[in-house]
Amino acid sequence: MTSHNGGVAELKFRDPGRARSLADALTRVVGEIERSPVSIMHVCGSHEQAIARFGLRATLPRSLNVIMGPGCPVCITDVPEVDEGVVLARQGVRIATYGDMLKVPGTSLSLADAQAEGARIDVVYSVAHAIELAKQVDEPLVFFATGFETTAVATSAAILRHPPSNFYVLSAHKYIPPVMEIVAEMPDTRVEGFLAAGHAATITGWGVFEPFVARHRLPVVVAGFEPLDILAALVRLAELIRDGRPAVENMFPRCVTKEGNLRAQEQLWRVFRPIGGRWRGIAHVPNGNLRLRDEFSHLDARKRFDIDLHTLWDFAPAGLAQECICGDIMAGIKSPHDCALFGKACVPHSPVGACMVSSEGTCKIWHQYGGHPDLAVDSGPWAAGGRTDHESQITNHKSQVSEGGGRGYCAR
Amino acid sequence: MCLGVPGKVVSVDGSIAVVDFWGVRKQIHLDVVDQPVAPGDYILNHVGYAIRRIPSEEIAATLALYEELLRHPPEGDDLMAADIQSEIHGAADDQS
């Protein structure tokens, strides 16, 4: 492991000494688990960004797999949900949505494709921005609402402020805790513990994971986003796995309490109810989708408009899409490098699957930052905290993130 | 992104605050945050809504990650820095 740990001091840690001792502790604790490999899953695009951005995988013991699960809200927005937005837009209804949704593939068309055909789609940073747009026009405006609970609370707060009568919501919001249950039960995943995302837990509180831990006997550790926060959380999670102690631990107390933000939860559950539904490529997730309660059906685009998905059936689905393994990647069964399309037919400026569209998607993050240290030789550029040759090559494609046209906003 | 962005409250008018994010001022909604917010406080913004007031003793630790990522302007290949930049600039024109 020394070759791996050799690069810690070179990484951009605020406290290299602490990073080194955490990396050493992680290596020791994982070594004390008498199984290999040990798989840990996180469910947050920002965690994957930080892990990749700061080269954390180069400091991890080889026998530890840190997998990104279904933590990218754009990626798990299901095909029929995108289709609903596309059909509405093609019917002439004005749509507002977060920028990362534009290129997410539907059955045959993305919102960007519909836009190219002349459909009117506005990219917004916030639901509040969509409401401002609605106030300026005399026609219906549908906010295609995507994202996890952290984003759904903003939608619910906006709805409770009595938006104008021409404002409608097409909710594709998702709720993270139930999908952890699904992934935990997938036989091929073999995840032994979860890192929970600090800011989502700011809303829900860490207590929300206690029933999960009791049911599945798997530990959950709430983690922050600094490289040191993530390393410390990994050490704690590895200790819980080693000791066979399924428990919830909060390693991000500066942001997360047990009960969470009760005011936000009250608004979230007043406006939304959880129902079962598919997450793209993953599975049907009981209680994983957030839909408007009947009290707010006058705002529900699904009630207001006749959304006939059959109108898309004349369009053939993209052939390459059949080869996309995005779902297996988000389930932790495969990695982007198992995909024949990754970095070849599927690149950020021309994505095939949703995981390459979003700045929170595993494929886009790996494409951008280089992915896994197994790509490089042991003592190679990764160990020095630098970029691999592979990464240098692939980043020549350049991200579209900083380009204009709304791609800069991410749909959370 | 679920990272959100911390900012310093400049003024508060009812349920809306003007918040400074590294020199960029935005209107941020206070409907969701569960503690009273006053000028000088730091909040964590997510899509134009404050989701948390950051306790004063934790501000420095919270800002550190962002300071590191914002030290060098993203060149288009740093997703995380670009996401933070877009979160900072995203609602700058939000007049709601």
Residue B12 in domain: yes
A308 and A373 within one domain: no
- What is the pLDDT confidence band of residue B81, given thresholds at 50, 70 and 90? confident
A64 and A196 within one domain: yes
Distance from the Cα of B38 to chain A's closest Cα (Å) equals: 18
Contact in structure between A10 and A227 (CB atoms under 8 Å): no
Cross-chain CB nearest to B52 (options A71, A261, A369): A261
Q: What percent of chain A has pLDDT over 70?
A: 85
Encode pLDDT of A95-139 as tens digits.
999 998 999 989 889 999 999 999 999 999 999 999 999 999 999
CB < 8 Å to B47, chain A: 125-127, 147, 151, 154, 412
Residue written as tokens 């009568």? Answer: A165
Last-in-domain residue among A250, A272, A298 = A250
Q: Do B48 and A154 touch (CB under 8 A)?
A: yes
Q: Is the pLDDT of residue A8 over 70?
A: no
The alpha carbons of chain B give a radius of gyration, in whole angstroms, of 13
Give the least confident one: A11-15, A254-258, A306-310, A386-390.
A386-390
| pLDDT (average), residues A169-193 | 92
Residue A246 in domain: yes
> What number of other Cβ atoms are within 10 A of residue B68's Cβ?
17
Residue B58 in domain: yes
Q: Is the pLDDT of residue A239 over 70?
A: yes
pLDDT in the model for residue A363:
92
The separation between CA B39 and the C-alpha centre of its own chain, rounded to angstroms, equals 14
Mean pLDDT of chain A: 85
Residue A121 in domain: yes
Rounded to whole angstroms, the Cα distance separating A146 from A170 reads 9
Residue A10 in domain: yes
- What is the pLDDT confidence band of residue A372, given thresholds at 50, 70 and 90? low
| pLDDT (average), residues A296-320 | 84
Domain that holds residue A55: 2-72+182-250
Name the A residues in 125-164 with CB < 8 Å from any B CB.
125-129, 131-132, 147-148, 150-151, 153-154, 157-158, 160-161
Read off the tokens for A246: 């399924």
Residue B19 in domain: yes
Domain CATH number, residue B30:
2.30.30.140
For residue B24, what is the DSSP state?
A: E
Give the list of residues 6+ apart from residue B8 with CB closer than 8 angstroms, or none: B19, B20, B40, B41, B42
Domain CATH number, residue A306:
3.40.50.11740
Domain that holds residue B24: 5-90
A272 and A167 within one domain: yes
pLDDT in the model for residue A4:
39
Give the least confident one: A9-23, A160-174, B77-91.
A9-23
Q: Do A150 and B80 touch (CB under 8 A)?
A: no
Rounded to whole angstroms, the Cα distance separating A20 from A13 reads 10
Residue B9 in domain: yes
Residue A355 or residue B95, greater confidence: A355
Q: Do B80 and A148 touch (CB under 8 A)?
A: no
User: For the purposes of burial, counting CB atoms within 10 Å of the CB of B36, is it exposed (0-12), middle (13-18) or buried (19 or more)?
Assistant: exposed
Residue written as tokens 């059949």? Answer: A322
Cross-chain CB nearest to A226 (options B47, B64, B89): B64
Name the B residues in 25-84 with CB < 8 Å from any A CB.
29, 31-34, 44, 46-49, 51-52, 54-55, 58, 61-62, 64-65, 68-69, 74-83
Read off the tokens for A13: 């840690």
Q: Are strands A193-197 and A167-171 parallel, antiparallel or unpaired?
A: unpaired
CB < 8 Å to A157, chain B: 29, 31-32, 49
Read off the tokens for A145: 């609402």
A49 and A20 within one domain: yes
A277 and A164 within one domain: yes
User: For the purposes of burial, counting CB atoms within 10 Å of the CB of B4, is it exposed (0-12), middle (13-18) or buried (19 or more)?
Assistant: buried
User: How many residues appear in chain B?
Assistant: 96
Give the least confident one: A18-22, A105-109, B43-47, B69-73.
B69-73
> Closest Cα to residue A60, out of A406, A405, A372?
A372
Residue A407 in domain: no
Give the least confident one: A96-110, A123-137, A176-190, B82-96.
B82-96
pLDDT in the model for residue A10:
41
A301 and A152 within one domain: yes
A328 and A389 within one domain: yes
A190 and A307 within one domain: no
Q: Is the pLDDT of residue A406 over 80?
A: no
Residue A408 in domain: no
Encode pLDDT of A338-354 as tens digits.
999 999 989 998 888 88
Q: Is the pLDDT of residue B1 over 90?
A: no
Q: Is the pLDDT of residue A173 over 60?
A: yes
A293 and A147 within one domain: yes
Three-state secondary structure string covering chain A: CHHHHCCHHHCCCCCHHHHHHHHHHHHHHHHHCCCCCEEEEECCHHHHHHHHHCCHHHHCCCCEEEEECCCCHHHHCCHHHHHHHHHHHHCCCEEEECHHHCCCCCCCCCHHHHHHCCCCEEECCCHHHHHHHHHHCCCCEEEEECCCHHHHHHHHHHHHCCCCCCEEEEECCECHHHHHHHHHHCCCCCCCEEEEEHHHHHHHCHHHHHHHHHHHCCCEEEECCCHHHHHHHHHHHHHHHHCCCCCEEECCCCCCCCCCCHHHHHHHHHHEEEEEEEECCCEEEEEEEEEECHHHHHHEHHHHCCCCHHHHCCCCCCHHHHHCCHHHHHCCCCCHHHCCCECCCEECCECCCHHHCCCCCHHHHHHHHCCCHHHCCCCCCCCCCCCCHHHHHHHHHCCCCCCCCCCCCCCC
pLDDT in the model for residue A16:
81
Q: Do B82 and A402 touch (CB under 8 A)?
A: yes
Residue B96 in domain: no
Residue A341 vs residues A49, A103, A217, B35: alpha-carbon distances, Å: 21, 17, 36, 48
Rounded to whole angstroms, the Cα distance separating A351 from A357 reads 6
Residue A79 in domain: yes
B18's enclosing H/E stretch is strand B16-21
Residue A412 in domain: no
Rounded to whole angstroms, the Cα distance separating A225 from B87 reads 16
For residue B66, what is the DSSP state?
A: H
pLDDT in the model for residue A405:
28
Rounded to whole angstroms, the Cα distance separating B17 from B25 reads 10
pLDDT in the model for residue A278:
92
The alpha carbons of chain A give a radius of gyration, in whole angstroms, of 21
CB < 8 Å to A398, chain B: 76-77
Q: Is the pLDDT of residue A385 over 60?
A: no
Four-residue CA torsion sign, A296, A102, A42, B83: negative
Residue B44 in domain: yes
Residue A91 in domain: yes
Rounded to whole angstroms, the Cα distance separating B43 from B51 reads 7
Residue B95 in domain: no
Give the least confident one: A28-32, A45-49, A202-206, A385-389.
A385-389
Residue B84 or residue A85, greater confidence: A85
Domain CATH number, residue A236:
3.40.50.11750
A166 and A31 within one domain: no
Cross-chain CB nearest to A402 (options B76, B90, B95): B76
pLDDT in the model for residue B6:
94
- What is the pLDDT confidence band of residue A13, given thresholds at 50, 70 and 90? low
Name the A residues in 293-322 with CB < 8 Å from any B CB.
none
Number of domains in chain B: 1
Q: What percent of chain B has pLDDT over 90?
A: 52
Residue A410 in contact with partner chain B when CB distance is under 8 A: yes
Q: Is the pLDDT of residue A389 over 60?
A: no
Contact in structure between A256 and A201 (CB atoms under 8 Å): yes
Number of domains in chain A: 3
Last-in-domain residue among A203, A228, A250 = A250
Query: Which ipTM was obtained for this model?
Result: 0.90
pLDDT in the model for residue A400:
28
Distance from the Cα of A312 to chain B's closest Cα (Å) equals: 30
A80 and A170 within one domain: yes
| pLDDT (average), residues B46-60 | 92
A53 and A8 within one domain: yes
The separation between CA A88 and the C-alpha centre of its own chain, rounded to angstroms, equals 25
pLDDT in the model for residue A286:
95
Residue B83 in domain: yes
